[in-house]
């Protein structure tokens, strides 16, 4: 297949999947802080076996190949929160990561894919609060949001007043999005009123910045608890629900993601608001990104394949996506070290 033919095939695939590169996300009514409504979730009991069976069929019933796969991987880049949350982060590392977010693919690959004139960039850059000013400066003029973790990330066990101040600090430094962590004990003990109250206060502290509520699902023990915590977070005003900090023993999985996506689908039917979804932790290969895009397409439709409603928290994922796109163009796999992150 010649490069010109590949360009045409990719453009066609983008259009057919609803991932057109000229797609503009519609303006949506933002979720609001509502009252706690236990009747929306208390009677829910998630069937583990049925959930696992459904999750296992997601990637076997649907596959995306060749130009369609390349198109979906381009979309995955645009839905990626490029992340660095290391204890040895420096302003220089954040600057380099932001440069990668601005230019996630090499120019020769973009040209070969027919994207030379398209401003391809990641969905956001996610950093610790102390690194927000450096990210804001590095991304100025790019249109890429700066996301900051907060609220005693990753454990969320600092006093509430301190957690709220951390949100206000990050927003004051220019963060556009705040990834909060819930106090897991409230979910594990079923104290939904306490969880709702805390998350609602966090949403208020975020102001205009969008709030992603991290449930740390690997620590919530059961899928029923995951569903209920998802509903409470959304009732308290979360704009996104997110699986994990990436630092738990178990992070994002397809069964957990299926339950959370069903929760946001139910919330949409009950409350009328579109809530975003973000899996995070352990998403390292292009095939993982495709699996989550398939989940969103199957369960929610094309709107949830765009960055205003779907993000993936990742650091190493982009390098593998680049390798897969280079293989699509050249027919050969390159070494991972040709696709440095920062």
Query: To which H or E segment does residue 108 belong?
Result: helix 107-112
Sign of CA dihedral 119, 293, 315, 187: positive
Q: Establish whether 278 is a catalytic residue.
A: yes
User: Within 10 A of 331 (CB to CB), how many other CB atoms are there?
Assistant: 8
Which of 7, 81, 176, 179 is catalytic? The answer is: 179
3-class SS at 83?
strand
Residue written as tokens 């957990």? 256
Two structure tokens written together for 243:
């699986």
Task: Give one DSSP letter per residue of 18-77, joined into a string.
Answer: T--TT--PPP-PPP------GGGTTT----HHHHHHHHHHHHHH----HHHHHHHHHHHH
Which of 110, 121, 278, 297 is catalytic? The answer is: 278
Which of 100, 242, 274, 297 is catalytic? The answer is: 242
Query: To which H or E segment does residue 93 belong?
Result: helix 91-102
Nearest residue to 82 (alpha-carbon basis) of 236, 238, 278, 334: 278
Nearest residue to 265 (alpha-carbon basis) of 306, 307, 234, 293: 234
Radius of gyration over alpha carbons of the chain, in Å?
19
Two structure tokens written together for 166:
């951390």
Cβ atoms of 249 and 218 closer than 8 Å: yes
Task: Give one DSSP letter per residue of 146-167, joined into a string.
Answer: EEEE-SSTTTT-S-HHHHHHHH
3-class SS at 328?
helix
Cβ atoms of 22 and 15 closer than 8 Å: no
Catalytic residues: 179, 242, 278
């Amino acid at each position: 297949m010649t490069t010109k033919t590949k360009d045409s095939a990719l453009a066609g695939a983008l259009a057919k999947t609803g991932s057109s590169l000229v797609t503009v996300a519609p303006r949506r009514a933002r979720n609001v802080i509502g009252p706690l409504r236990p009747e929306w979730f208390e009677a829910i009991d998630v069937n583990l076996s049925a959930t696992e069976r459904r999750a296992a069929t997601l990637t076997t019933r649907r596959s995306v190949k060749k130009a369609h796969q390349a198109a979906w991987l381009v979309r995955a880049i645009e839905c990626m929160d490029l992340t660095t949350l290391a204890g040895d982060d420096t302003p220089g590392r954040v600057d380099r990561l932001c440069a990668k977010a601005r230019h996630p693919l090499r120019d020769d690959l973009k040209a070969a894919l027919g994207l030379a004139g398209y401003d391809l960039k990641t969905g956001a850059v996610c950093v610790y609060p102390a690194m927000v000013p450096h990210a804001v400066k590095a991304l100025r003029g790019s249109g890429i949001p700066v996301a900051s973790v907060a609220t005693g990330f990753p454990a969320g066990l600092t006093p509430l007043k301190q957690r709220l101040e951390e949100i206000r600090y990050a927003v004051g430094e220019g963060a556009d999005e705040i990834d909060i962590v819930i106090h897991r004990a409230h979910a594990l003990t079923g104290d939904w009123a306490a969880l709702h109250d805390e998350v609602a206060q966090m949403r208020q502290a975020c102001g205009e910045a969008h709030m992603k509520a991290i449930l740390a699902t690997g620590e919530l023990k059961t899928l029923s608890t995951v569903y209920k915590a998802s509903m409470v977070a959304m009732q308290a005003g979360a704009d996104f629900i997110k699986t994990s900090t990436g630092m738990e023993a178990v992070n994002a999985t397809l069964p957990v993601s299926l339950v959370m996506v069903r929760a946001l689908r139910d919330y949409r039917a009950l409350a009328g608001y579109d809530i975003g979804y973000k899996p995070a932790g352990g998403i390292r290969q292009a095939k993982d990104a495709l699996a989550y895009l398939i989940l969103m397409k199957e369960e929610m439709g094309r709107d949830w394949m765009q960055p205003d409603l779907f993000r993936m928290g990742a650091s190493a994922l982009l390098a593998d996506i680049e390798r897969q796109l280079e293989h699509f163009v050249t027919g050969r796999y390159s070494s991972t070290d040709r696709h440095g992150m920062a």
